A and B are shown apart, each in its own frame.
Chain A
Amino acid sequence: GAVVSQHPSWVICKSGTSVKIECRSLDFQATTMFWYRQFPKQSLMLMATSNEGSKATYEQGVEKDKFLINHASLTLSTLTVTSAHPEDSSFYICSAVLLTLARTYEQYFGPGTRLTVT
């Protein structure tokens, strides 16, 4: 199946700094990618929809100025957590949408990035 990677797999940063997380579709092009956040013992929460070449669409309650999303190419979307605080510590997961030869859409998830803000 299609592969989605994330980098880094884990990161520790100091409060007030910014952290960039990359999401790549390795063997397919993805016009649409999604970013999720997951706190311990909770389910995934959708943060935003990332569309190549256009502005991201954020879910209600997600600060677009704090979580900057850039989808500059068909294989790369980045999430930048600006001025990170300890409450931003979480597991961040991306997914990418693949249009198959059968003209169906399949969504593939990355392995996630563990962010810890100290």
Chain B
Amino acid sequence: DAKTTQPTSMDCAEGRAANLPCNHSTISGNEYVYWYRQIHSQGPQYIIHGLKNNETNEMASLIITEDRKSSTLILPHATLRDTAVYYCIVRADSWGKLQFGAGTQVVVTP
């Protein structure tokens, strides 16, 4: 599976949009981009995933560049409860094992 690169940390003001970048320049044509988050001392939570089209659900939006070498997770209106480590993962199949990188520590401040 392709490797991903994310910033170590970022801060976001409550109520504002949080844009989390992820680089995956070696992604293959059949690999999906998945996003999970982990609130402190809890199990990871699925957020969203996509192949090449932009995706949106009740939690977030996923924007994938046309060349698929990078993507951005958008939390439209960040709340304090969105403080967590966000993981961008690229993998070929939808059921297989997940390889977690270091992720981005997002801190939402009042």
Question: By the criterion CB–CB under 8 Å, are B101 and A32 in contact?
Answer: no
Question: How long is the Cα–Cα vector from A107 to B96 in the complex, in angstroms?
Answer: 9
Known: A43-B103, A44-B100, A46-B99. A109 touches B43 (CB 8 A): yes
| Distance in angstroms between the alpha carbons of A29 and B93 in the assembled complex | 19
Given A43-B103, A44-B100: A97 and B95 interface contact (C-beta under 8 Å) = yes
CA distance A29 to B85 in the complex (A): 28
Count of interface residues, chain B, beta-carbon cutoff 8 Å: 19
Instruction: Tell me whether A106 is interfacial, beta carbon within 8 Å.
Output: yes
Instruction: A114 to B102: give the CA distance in the assembly, Å.
Output: 20
Which chain B residues border A46 with CB–CB below 8 Å? 97-100
B73-104 CB mask vs A (1 if < 8 Å, else 0) is 00000000000010100000111011111110
B98, A111: Cβ atoms under 8 Å? no
The interface residues of chain A lying within 8 Å CB-to-CB of B43 are 4, 6, 93, 95, 109-112
Cβ distance A115 to chain B, nearest Cβ, rounded Å: 13
Which applies to chain A's interface (DSSP): helix, strand, loop or mixed? Answer: strand
Option from B45, B46, B100 in Cβ contact (under 8 Å) with A43: B100
B71 to chain A, nearest CB (A): 19
Residues of A within 8 A of B42 (CB): 111-112
Specify which chain A residues have a CB less than 8 angstroms from the CB of B98 in the assembled complex.
34, 44, 46, 95, 107
Measured between beta carbons, the chain A residues less than 8 angstroms from B44 are 44, 93, 95, 109
A28 on interface, CB distance cutoff 8 Å: no
**A–B pairs, 9, beta carbons within 8 Å:** A4-B43, A6-B43, A43-B100, A43-B101, A43-B103, A95-B98, A105-B94, A106-B94, A111-B42
Interface residues of B (CB under 8 A from A): 38, 41-46, 85, 87, 93-95, 97-103
Binding site for B on A (CB under 8 A): 4, 6, 32, 34, 36, 43-46, 49, 91, 93, 95, 97, 99, 104-112, 114
